[in-house]
Structure 1
Amino acid sequence: MKRVIVVGGGPKSYIPDVKEYACEECIWIGADQGAEVLVEQGVEPDIAIGDFDSVSEQSLAEIKKKSKQVLIFPDEKDETDLELAINEALRLSPEHILLFGVTGGRIDHSQANMQLLYPLMKEKVKSTIIDRQNRVELVSAGEHKIEADEFYPYVSFLPVTLEVTKITLEGFYYPLDQAYLPFGSTLCISNRLIEDTGTFSFESGILLVIRSTDLPT
């Protein structure tokens, strides 16, 4: 599977060790400060992209030294650095895109980054946002399997359309049978699997599927 790993410039405290997600065919893209994160974690970016207004001149010099390709854009532009990185990722025809450094900090950035899952879903590219506490995917109508994960025990389903119809959950602690889930409902928050594999299905709408864990205090 061709996997592209994109690291954005979100708070570093939210970003796990990205090398744990490496694979033989992985391509690494750092967006702005995300390229700095890759270098700091010992990964040489295949592509570093952005306006780099969030890194020092010394750090940018190190990014240029370590990266195979550096694409520098002006500060004032129509896309965020992350969107530019995702566009580069799509040109590589990936089967799966992992996104790190896209949550935490400013809510407007986090929300915009979540919405960037939509064009990826339309392109039928599996895409996952990952931070130290969550895994997030955007899913279209149909039937889907989901595997139990001890590290992310909680599973929540949030509608991002005005409604999600006939949602059915099987293999979950709180099952559902063709339920109606309107935008703004908390019906499907903090469920969990009771089988090794569960299924969820729905007839129409789009769901944000969030797998999460509680961090120690």
Structure 2
Amino acid sequence: MQVNILAGGPRQQYPENLFNQKAGWIGVDRGALILIKNHIRPQLAVGDFDSMTVQELVEVKKNCSEIIQVNPVKDDTDTELALASAFEQLHADEVHLYGATGGRLDHLLSNIFMLLKPKFNQYVEQVKIIDRQNCIYFFNAGQHCINVLPDYKYLSFVSLGKVENLTLPDEKYQLHNQSDQLPVAYVSNEFLKSTASFSFSSGTVAVIYSHDAN
């Protein structure tokens, strides 16, 4: 089951036709209200809802199948709570996270680095972060093969912390057994054919498909 999560990032970063997808939806804080205004009834709304007026919160409670309202003083972010709910409560096998980029940089970094936490890292290859220009996949150590996505020209590999023996054997710009102790971004690579393979022996890598703004 695919579950989509809509966080509260800028609407200018939403992909086209975002609200036409056939999937279950979780709204994170104001994201729940945006879903409702686009005629989608979220299966779940999660957050402290401190960005809403009382009237807006009433509307969310009236139009969501279930709501989890938490104290604003907490250890986990609203998006982390939503991601945990997607896997543990809705039993998702794939999660697409929208509204997680653009706007505040601290939110963007939090949404990427949360996938290094042990409770989420077990699901890391089932999560994608998607906006108007980017699609981010996440991988743990191993041999991997990815496919070209239409309209995405660039392919970047980002070591999220210590990564050993990163090898890109058949991309436009090759890399062989590269080990890094700190996060490093190998950007603006490209596919040479319809698929590309890569491997690494330890760590977590984000693979970013991207294109320039229209």
Q: TM-score, normalised by structure 1?
A: 0.88
The CA deviation at 1:143 is 0.8
Name the CA distance, whole Å, in 2 between partners of 1:185 and 1:28.
33
The CA deviation at 1:113 is 1.0
* Letter paired with 1:142: G
Query: 1:17-73, CA deviations, whole angstroms, 9 ceiling, x for partnerless residues?
Result: 3234x33xx321001011012112221101111111112333223222221112222
* Letter paired with 2:188: S
Q: TM-score, normalised by structure 2?
A: 0.89
The CA deviation at 1:13 is 1.6
Name the CA distance, whole Å, in 2 between partners of 1:148 and 1:123.
23
* Letter paired with 2:45: A
Query: 1:70-127, CA deviations, whole angstroms, 9 ceiling, x for partnerless residues?
Result: 2222222222211111121121221111111111111111111111223433246510
Gaps of 5+ in 2: none
What residue number does 1:212 align with?
Answer: 210
When structure 1 is superposed on structure 2, of 137-146 and 119-128 the one drifting more is 119-128
When structure 1 is superposed on structure 2, of 27-36 and 122-131 the one drifting more is 122-131
What residue number does 1:86 align with?
Answer: 83
Query: 1:171-217, CA deviations, whole angstroms, 9 ceiling, x for partnerless residues?
Result: 3211223334453544x21101010111111122221211111102x
List structure 1 runs of 4+ shifted beyond 3 angstroms.
179-182
Whether the 8 Å CA contact 1:159–1:182 is kept in 2: the answer is no
Count of matched residue positions in the alignment of Structure 1 and Structure 2: 210
1:70 to 2:67 alignment: yes
Whether the 8 Å CA contact 1:121–1:127 is kept in 2: the answer is no
What residue number does 1:132 align with?
Answer: 132
* Letter paired with 1:200: F
Name the CA distance, whole Å, in 2 between partners of 1:158 and 1:50.
29
Aligned-partner SS, 1:215? coil
Provide the identity percentage: 35
What residue number does 2:48 align with?
Answer: 51
Alignment of 1:144-163 (within 5 A): 144-162=144-162
Q: Which of 55, 58, 62 does residue 61 from structure 1 map onto? A: 58
Alignment of 1:32-43 (within 5 A): 32-43=29-40
Aligned-partner SS, 1:195? coil
Root-mean-square deviation (CA, aligned residues, Å) is 1.9
Gaps of 5+ in 1: none
What residue number does 2:6 align with?
Answer: 7
* Letter paired with 2:192: I
Whether the 8 Å CA contact 2:167–2:199 is kept in 1: the answer is yes
